[in-house]
């Protein structure tokens, strides 16, 4: 059906006249309040080192700046990319390295690490009841040596609530590839409050994996080769959202190390 220009003009003119003659005040709708999001923005460490996090409108971390306060301070900047399902697909840093994520049936199956255009190493993941329980690490023996060899395995154990209980790393002898226990880390005394650094702590190889949803109160690092332990105890303060504001670390022997500060 054809449109009649004259009719459109007449209707438009009447609308303008009615609007102009109306004495009713124009009432603007009240602004919609923007919710305050208690997202982690920065973690500060002793000596001036810090990590800064930046988000998109979906509250996904899209950039992490790792600042090192050395004699010549420098920033390592990581950019995180996502797919349409909001899963991490790639992590790229400002030194030319990147981490590509591969999914199998919607589950993270592996991460490949490139230095420049060279595939340097990769990890393969296994799950039990939806939780990451085993990782295999493969590295190139050198840049000039083709192929990859498995250099380490990592096993993960969990508490019934899903928090990481123990992480054990295994190595292989060069002579006959005999597997041996290398190092283990045991966690306990979780605080049942949100862990805001869960993404930050493991974002290169383990982004978005549910490993430590709460904050551990104790950690024991054990050198399985010589049987020595390093013990750490953590004490937190919290804000009104129950997120940590500070973390004080007491190491083996009772020495108090530097505090960790959280900003939102």
Please report whether residue 25 resides in a domain.
no
pLDDT at 125 (0 to 100) = 98
Q: Is residue 101 part of a domain?
A: yes
Pick the residue with more confidence: 44 or 257? 44
Phi, then psi, of 233 in degrees rounded to 5: -120, 140
Indicate if the pLDDT at residue 129 is higher than 90: yes
Report residue 37's pLDDT band, with 50, 70 and 90 as the boundaries. low
pLDDT at residue 27 in the model: 54
172 part of a folded domain: yes
81: nearest Cα among 194, 170, 208, 168: 208
- pTM comes to 0.82
CATH code of residue 192: 2.40.160.190
**Is the per-residue pLDDT at 130 higher than 80?**
yes
pLDDT reported for residue 174: 85
Q: Is the pLDDT of residue 109 over 90?
A: yes
Give the angle 210-163-104 at the CA atoms, nearest 5°: 30
Lowest mean pLDDT among 31-45, 78-92, 204-218, 231-245: 31-45
Q: CA 203 to CA 99: how far, in whole Å?
A: 10
| pLDDT tens per residue, range 198-241 | 999 999 999 999 999 999 999 999 999 999 999 999 999 999 99
Q: Domain for residue 229, yes or no?
A: yes
- Domain presence at residue 10: no
Euclidean distance between CA atoms 29 and 192, whole angstroms: 42
> What confidence score (pLDDT) does residue 142 get?
77
pLDDT exceeds 80 at position 10: no
Residue 70 belongs to a domain? yes
- The mean per-residue pLDDT over the stretch 70-97 comes to 96
Tokens, residue 18: 């009615």
Residue 8 lies in a domain: no
Q: Can you give the residue range of the structural domain that contains 216? A: 36-263
Q: Is the pLDDT of residue 35 over 70?
A: no
Domains contained in the chain, number: 1
């Amino acid at each position: 059906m054809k449109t009649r220009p004259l009719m459109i003009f007449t209707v438009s003119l009447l609308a303008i006249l009615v609007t102009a003659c109306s004495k009713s005040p124009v009432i603007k709708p009240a602004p919609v309040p923007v919710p305050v999001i208690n997202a982690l923005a920065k973690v500060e460490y002793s000596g001036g080192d810090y990590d800064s996090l930046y988000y998109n409108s979906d509250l996904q971390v899209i950039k992490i700046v790792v600042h090192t306060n050395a004699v010549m301070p420098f920033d390592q900047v990581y950019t995180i990319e996502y797919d349409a399902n909001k899963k991490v697909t790639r992590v790229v840093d400002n030194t030319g390295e990147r981490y590509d994520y591969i999914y199998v049936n919607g589950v993270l199956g592996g991460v490949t690490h490139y230095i420049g255009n060279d595939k340097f190493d990769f990890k393969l993941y296994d799950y039990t009841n939806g939780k990451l329980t085993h990782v295999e690490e493969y590295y190139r023996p050198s840049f000039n040596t083709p192929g990859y060899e498995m250099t380490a395995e990592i096993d993960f154990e969990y508490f019934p609530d899903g928090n990481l209980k123990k992480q054990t790393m295994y190595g292989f002898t060069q002579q006959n590839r005999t597997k041996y226990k290398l190092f283990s880390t045991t966690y306990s005394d979780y605080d049942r409050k949100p862990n805001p650094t869960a993404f930050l702590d493991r974002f290169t190889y383990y982004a978005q994996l549910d490993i430590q949803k709460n904050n551990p109160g104790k950690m024991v690092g054990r050198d399985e080769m010589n049987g020595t332990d390093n013990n750490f105890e953590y004490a937190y303060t919290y804000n009104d959202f129950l997120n940590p504001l500070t973390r004080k670390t007491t190491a083996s022997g009772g020495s108090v190390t530097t505090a960790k500060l959280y900003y939102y």
